[in-house]
Amino acid sequence: MRYAPRMKESDVKFFRPLWIRLLVTAVVVAWFVLEAVFSHDPLWMGVTAVGTVYCVWNFFLRFPRDLPPASTPPAEPPGQP
């Protein structure tokens, strides 16, 4: 059984800075807290809870750590002229 694939390379490049990942996760967590405290709507509480888990899973637990710096061009494979 195959699980969900990793993020696309363009997504990884966008979310490479830690502050962007923290900001997106903080917005989703804040939305969950607002739903839990003020709205008490189970549907949106569930949606934002799943969004929070998804952010933590993809942005912090599964995010590729072996990325080259953004300014470095990709290396050419050996043996290619």
Per-residue pLDDT in tens (0 to 9) along the chain, 81 residues: 455 566 677 778 888 999 999 999 999 999 999 999 999 999 999 999 999 999 999 999 988 877 555 555 556 666 665
- The pLDDT value recorded for residue 62 is 87
- Return the residue matching tokens 């997504």: 11
Per the structure block, which two tokens stand in for 50? 């799943």
- The pLDDT value recorded for residue 12 is 82
Best CA proximity match to 26, nearest among 51, 44, 47: 51
Contacts of 27 (CB under 8 A, 6+ apart): none
Per the structure block, which two tokens stand in for 49? 């809870």
> Contact, 64 vs 6, CB < 8 A?
yes
Q: pTM for the complete prediction?
A: 0.71
Domain boundaries, the chain: 9-61
